[in-house]
Amino acid sequence: MEKHAGEIIYINGPVVKAENAQGLKMREMVLVGKKRLIGEVISISKDTATIQVYEETSGLSRGEEILSTGSPLSVKLGPGILSNIFDGIERPLLAMYKDGNAFIPEGVGLVSLDEQKQWAVEMVAKEGDYLTAGQVYATIQETSMIRHRLMVPPHLKGKVVFAERSGSYTIEQTLVTLEEEGSRHELKLYQLWPVRQPRPVAKRNPIGKLLVTGQRVIDTFFPLAKGGTAAIPGGFGTGKTITQHQLAKWSDADIIVYIGVGERGNEMTEVLEDFPEIKDPRSGKSIMERTVLIANTSNMPVAAREASIYTGITIAEYFRDMGYHIAIMADSTSRWAEALREISGRLEEMPAEEGFPAYLPSRLAQFYERAGDIETLGGSGGSITVIGAVSPAGGDFTEPVTQNTKRVVSTFLALDKALAYARHYPSINWLRSYSGYVTDLKDWYDENASPEMLELRAKLLRILQEEDKLQEIVKLVGEDILPDDQRLILEISRVIKVGYLQQNAYHADDANVSLAKQYRMLRVIDALYENAIKCVKKGAPMSKVKNDALFYKITTMKYNVPENRQEILEDYIREIRDYYDGLDKTYSKGGARHEG
C-alpha cells in the first residue's frame, strides 16, 4: 500500500516539499523521511508536492524519501475511543506513556486504537440478512455507560454471506462479509474515515431540544440546543476553559468529545485527573466513561493542531451515527486559526485580515456546519452540538476569528474581563451574549420546565438591561438620588447577579443545577421583585423594602437549598409574601390615614 513517491527538497518548519512527486494526490496522507513522520499533501505544482508534517521536522534531511499511502488523512473509528486521550491525529497518548516516557517520543508512526485488546462482541447480523449503510451488524458494551454499535460504513451495502458468532475479538478480525454485485466487503470492528469529509446522514431535523448544561446563566438566559452551535469568546483569564470544563462535566449529552487545541498541558492533565472522579448526575457513573479527549497542547507540532478539530468532529459524527447525542468542545478555535495562519505564512500565501488566510471564514463555516440534529442512515436520531472557545487577541472581539465565528454560530456567550476581575463566574456578560435558539426551544421549555419560564427569563433580562442604563446615571450622581422604584431595580439586579447568574463551580450544591430548581429560583426572585415593587408604589421606604436579612437569604439560596430539597424554595416565596403583606398593610393604613 505504501509506495515511494518522491524525495525531500525543501524543509521549513512543518512545511516540506518533495520532488518527483507526480503520483501524489491532493490531501493524501504521506509518510515523510526515515522516521516515517505523518504528513498531508496541501498543494501540488508540476512535479513538486507541498506537505504539512504533523510531527517535529528537526532531524529531517534533504533527499529523504516520501512514501504515499494512497488514502486521505483518516482516523480509525471503532471500540477503544471512549475514556481515551489522543493527539491531533488520533495517536493514543495513554499508550505512548505506558512505554514509560513522560515526554512524547519522536517518530511514533501510525498507531491509533489498541489492536491487542479483546472486545466482547454481540452479533446482530446473521447470514442471509441484507444490510445497508448505517445498519448495525454487531454491538459492544464499550464502557458501562455506552454501547458501541458497529455499523455498515456509508456507501456500502450487501447480503451477509458470512457472519461470526458472538464472542471475543480484536479490532482487526472480520465479523461480517457483505456481497453486492459480485464484490465482497469484509467488515471488521472498525472503519476508516477521512477526517475532512463529513459523514453522510439521512436528513437534518429542525432544532428543538435544549442541551441542559446545569449552568443557570446558560440554561435560563442563553440556551444551547442539541445540534446547535455556540461560541465562547474571552480574553485570557476570563474563564473560557473552566466554562468549557463545566459544560463537559454537566451537560446532558451522551458523549463528550473534548479537544484541547493549542492549550496548556496541565489543563488536559486536570481533566484526566478530575473526570474519573466526577459522577454523571443521570447515570451515577464516572463521566470519563462517556468522554473522549483530543490533546494538541501548545508545544506539540502546529500542523497537528490544524488537524485536531477535524479528528474530533469525525469521532463525534461516528458516535452520532450510532444514535447518540454528542457535545463537542474545542478549546480554543483561535489556536486552530493561528495554526492555519502559521502554515499559510510558511507557504507564502497572500494574507488577508491580520495575516490570516483568506479561506479562514469558509473553513470555520465548514467546521461548525458539521453540527446538527439529524436522522442517521440507520434510521435513528442523533445530534452534534459544537461549542467553540475563541481567544481574541487582546480581548478585542472585532478581530477576524471572533467576527467570522459570530457569523456561523447561534449562541454567543461573551466572557467579560470586568466580571472576571470581580471574580463573577461564569463571567458571561448578559448584555452582550445572545442565543438564537430561544424561539426554537419554546415548546421544549413549555413541556419540560414551565410555560412561564421564558416569560420570567424575559422579565429578568429587562430588569438587568434597565439596571445597566441606571448604572450610567449612578456613575455620575450616585445611587441615593434615584427614585425608590429605580433603586429597587438596582437591588434586585444585585440579587440576580450574585444569587443567580454567579455560579460556583466548586460548590457541591451549586456546580450543577437542574432546570426544575432553576425555575423555582427564578420564581423566588420574581416574587421578591413583584412584592417589593408593590410596597414601593404604596410609599414604603427603601430601608424597609430592602430587608437585609431577606435579601441575604435569597442571595444565598443557591448554597442553602440542595437539589433534593428544592421544595424549600416554596417556603421562601411564602416568607416573601408574608413580609411584604405586613409592610403593605402598614403603609396602606398609613396612607389611608394620611389621606383622611
- Restricted to residues 573-592, the positions that interact with another protein (CB under 8 A) are none
Site track 124-163 with another protein (rule: CB under 8 A), x = hit: ----------------------------------------
Residue 46 touching another protein (CB under 8 A): no
- The rounded distance, in Å, linking the Cα atoms of 423 and 247 is 19
Residues in the chain: 596
Size of the site for another protein (CB under 8 A): 79
Task: Pull the grid cell for residue 50.
Answer: 507541498
Contacts with another protein in 539-558 (CB under 8 A)? 548, 552, 555-556
Instruction: Tell me the window of 51-59, 74-82, 111-119, 247-255 that interacts with another protein (CB under 8 A).
Output: 51-59
Residue 45 touching another protein (CB under 8 A): no
Identity of the residue, 34 or 537, whose beta carbon is nearer to another protein in the bound complex: 34
For the chain, the C-alpha Rg in angstroms (whole number) is 28
Identity of the residue, 338 or 373, whose beta carbon is nearer to another protein in the bound complex: 338
Instruction: Tell me the window of 311-319, 389-397, 439-447, 577-585 that interacts with another protein (CB under 8 A).
Output: 389-397
Identity of the residue, 57 or 74, whose beta carbon is nearer to another protein in the bound complex: 57
Identity of the residue, 96 or 121, whose beta carbon is nearer to another protein in the bound complex: 96
Identity of the residue, 487 or 523, whose beta carbon is nearer to another protein in the bound complex: 487
Contacts with another protein in 62-121 (CB under 8 A)? 62-63, 85, 93-94, 96-97, 100-106
In the bound complex, what is the minimum distance in angstroms from residue 312's beta carbon to another protein?
A: 15
Contacts with another protein in 345-384 (CB under 8 A)? 345-346, 348, 351, 354-355
In the bound complex, what is the minimum distance in angstroms from residue 571's beta carbon to another protein?
A: 19
- The rounded distance, in Å, linking the Cα atoms of 466 and 458 is 12
Residue 421 touching another protein (CB under 8 A): yes
3-state secondary structure of 260: strand
- The rounded distance, in Å, linking the Cα atoms of 514 and 531 is 26
Each residue of 220-240: b (16+ CB within 10 Å) or e?
Answer: bbbbbbbbbbbbbbbbeebbb
Identity of the residue, 123 or 542, whose beta carbon is nearer to another protein in the bound complex: 542
Q: Which of 127, 186, 369, 396 binds another protein (CB under 8 A)?
A: 396
Distance, first Cα to last Cα, the chain: 101
- The rounded distance, in Å, linking the Cα atoms of 211 and 254 is 11
Ordered DSSP codes for 438-498: TTTTHHHHHHHT-TTHHHHHHHHHHHHHHHHHHHHHHHHH-STTS-HHHHHHHHHHHIIII
Residue 295 touching another protein (CB under 8 A): yes
Q: Which of 192, 461, 474, 533 binds another protein (CB under 8 A)?
A: 474
- The rounded distance, in Å, linking the Cα atoms of 70 and 73 is 10
Instruction: Tell me the window of 69-77, 222-230, 442-450, 477-485 that interacts with another protein (CB under 8 A).
Output: 477-485
Q: Which helix (H) or strand (E) holds 70?
A: strand 65-72
Q: Which of 1, 45, 58, 181 binds another protein (CB under 8 A)?
A: 58
3-state secondary structure of 53: strand
Q: Which of 46, 155, 423, 594 binds another protein (CB under 8 A)?
A: 423
Identity of the residue, 59 or 582, whose beta carbon is nearer to another protein in the bound complex: 59
Long-range Cβ pairs for the range 353-361 (8 Å, 24+):
353/400, 354/393, 354/399, 354/400, 356/400, 356/401, 360/400, 360/401, 360/404, 361/404, 361/407
In terms of DSSP bridges, do strands 28-32 and 65-72 run parallel, antiparallel, or are they unpaired? Answer: antiparallel
Q: Does residue 125 contact residue 131 with C-beta atoms inside 8 Å?
A: yes
Residue 276 touching another protein (CB under 8 A): no
Within 322-377, residue ranges assigned H as helices are 333-346, 360-368
Q: Which of 71, 144, 298, 439 binds another protein (CB under 8 A)?
A: 298
3-state secondary structure of 90: coil
In the bound complex, what is the minimum distance in angstroms from residue 61's beta carbon to another protein?
A: 4
In the bound complex, what is the minimum distance in angstroms from residue 346's beta carbon to another protein?
A: 8
Contacts with another protein in 400-419 (CB under 8 A)? 417
Q: Which of 118, 299, 362, 439 binds another protein (CB under 8 A)?
A: 299
Residue 477 touching another protein (CB under 8 A): yes
Identity of the residue, 108 or 178, whose beta carbon is nearer to another protein in the bound complex: 108
Identity of the residue, 13 or 436, whose beta carbon is nearer to another protein in the bound complex: 13
Identity of the residue, 341 or 370, whose beta carbon is nearer to another protein in the bound complex: 341
Identity of the residue, 52 or 435, whose beta carbon is nearer to another protein in the bound complex: 52
Contacts with another protein in 167-196 (CB under 8 A)? none
In angstroms, what CA-CA distances link 286 with 249, 385, 511? 10, 21, 16
Cα 530 to the chain's mean position, in Å? 37
Q: Which residues, including other chains, have CB under 8 Å from residue 190's CB and lie 6 or more apart?
A: 76, 77, 78, 79, 113, 171
Strands (E), 126-278: 130-131, 136-141, 147-151, 158-163, 167-169, 176-180, 183-187, 191-194, 203-205, 229-233, 255-261
Contacts with another protein in 496-525 (CB under 8 A)? 498, 506
In the bound complex, what is the minimum distance in angstroms from residue 506's beta carbon to another protein?
A: 7
